[in-house]
Amino acid sequence: MKNIKLNVPIISGILILLVVMGSCKKKKTAPTLTLNGDSAITMCVGDEYIEAGASAVDAYGDDVEVMITYGYLDVTSSGIYTIGYSATDKNENVSTAEVTITVEVCASSMLGDYTISSDCQALGIDLISNDQSILPGLNQNQFIIDNFNFAISQITASVEGSNITVPQNTFTIGSPPLSTDVTISGAGTVNETGTEMVINYTYDAGIAGSGTCTATYTRN
C-alpha distances (whole Å) from 75 to each of 63, 99, 193, 219 are: 31, 15, 9, 18
Supply the pLDDT for residue 121. Answer: 86
The pLDDT tens digits of the residues spanning 110-150 come to: 999 999 999 998 878 888 999 999 999 999 999 999 999 98
Coil, strand or helix at 76: coil
pTM of the model: 0.80
Of the candidates 150, 45, 47, the residue with the CA atom closest to the CA atom of residue 105 = 45
The pLDDT tens digits of the residues spanning 8-56 come to: 455 455 444 444 445 556 778 999 999 999 999 999 999 999 999 999 9
CB 36 within 8 A of CB 55: yes
Supply the pLDDT for residue 2. Answer: 52
HSE-up (13 A, CA, CB side) for residue 86: 9
Domains in the chain (CATH in brackets) are 28-104 (2.60.40.10), 107-219 (2.40.128)
Give the whole-angstrom CA distance, residue 37 versus residue 55: 11
The pLDDT tens digits of the residues spanning 148-205 come to: 998 889 999 999 999 999 999 998 877 777 778 889 999 999 999 999 999 999 999 8
